[in-house]
Copies of this chain bind each other. A is one copy, B any other.
């Protein structure tokens, strides 16, 4: 358990700041020395890397209007992943443990154990998806909405990592579900695999008519923001709820949503509740969530599609596809096994 000899790791760095949606050339893979293990740190070998849309925000200019700092050009990207502990100088971890946390887009890393959590046995890569923070976001956001039995819940990005879990949990809790996805293949996935009652292709020219046909939306779980939110607002019932889990529309510099006056007049005119949250603020509830989701995954009541690519190059390829209208569904991960 003493420090290991200095070694090198391969890692992804931000080669330049993307102009809009990220492309492969915005990233580079380089070798960098691993620092010596300090007390409380562990050396991990990366098993899976999580490719989160939020990274596109954080590598952009002035994320959230400057509310959070951008990742610097030339630097590594502290994304989340699952690693296997190789060497430990932390009390709670031993070699062989699987841990989740911001281990970075790197094949090995020295990280403080304080930012890591042991992965629930048996979840494997799903600890980055339904069984991890995306699933936790889905669960927390639904909890903020409250009882959905018999109510109509609309989800944006419903074929994505968070949206797919929202759709299934809402259905299990008795909601009628409707979901946006950005291709015919994704809409088929919503209907056939996730059991979404009303899939809506967000590229279709008659979105307003399809929304009106829902006959009133009680809750909108929004991962996207943008003009789509403006289109949804007039169809939300009085005292309806909008949960803002993500604003993916804005992550490449587009407007985050409809203008404030539209949003505010809807909030006041129809007594809406619009609420944002960050799953990192509720980590004390993670064990309760894990217990529920593990049961649902094991019984097959919730399916968790992983969209898997290989190696660090797989991470870069995922990033380049992130904002495309494609056929792929489910949580984007890269496997470094």
Asked whether A265 lies within 8 Å of B256 as measured between CB atoms, the reply is yes
CB <8 Å contact, A257 and B247: no
Q: A267 touches which one: B68, B262, B275 (CB < 8 A)?
A: B275
- Report the bound CA distance from A274 to B265 in whole Å: 12
Contact B276 A275 (CB under 8 A): no
A295 at the interface (CB under 8 A from B): no
Q: How far is the CA of A247 from the CA of B261 in the complex (A)?
A: 10
The answer to whether A272 touches B272, judged by C-beta atoms less than 8 angstroms apart, is no
Is the CB of A177 closer than 8 A to any CB of chain B? no
Assembly CA distance A264 to B245 (angstroms): 11
Please classify the interface of chain A as helix (H, G, I), strand (E, B), loop, or mixed, using the class held by over half of its residues: mixed
Q: Which residues of B contact A67 (CB under 8 A)?
A: 265-266, 269-270
Instruction: Give Cα A271–Cα B276 distance, bound, in whole angstroms.
Output: 4
In Å, the complex CA distance between A67 and B263 comes to 12
> What would 8 A/B residue contacts be, using CB atoms closer than 8 Å?
A67-B265, A244-B267, A257-B260, A257-B263, A258-B260, A258-B264, A259-B259, A275-B275
* Among A229, A261, A269: residue with most chain B CB under 10 A: A261
CB-CB under 8 A for A256 and B247, given A269-B68, A275-B272, A275-B273 = no
Contacts of A273 in B (CB 8 A): 273-276
Chain A, range 67-114, C-beta contacts under 8 Å to B: 67-68
**Contact between A275 and B274 (Cβ–Cβ < 8 Å)?**
yes
Q: Are A65 and B262 in contact (CB under 8 A)?
A: yes
**Cα A268 to Cα B229 with chains together (Å):** 14
Chain B residues positioned under 8 Å from A276 (CB to CB): 267-273
Please give, as numbers and ranges, the residues of chain B lying within 8 Å of A230 by CB-CB distance: 260
Bound-complex Cα distance A68 to B230 (A): 18
Q: Are B225's CB and A264's CB within 8 A? A: yes
A204 adjacent to chain B (CB < 8 Å): no
* Bitwise interface map of A from 266 to 309 toward B, beta carbon under 8 Å scored 1, else 0: 11111111111110010000000000000000000000000000
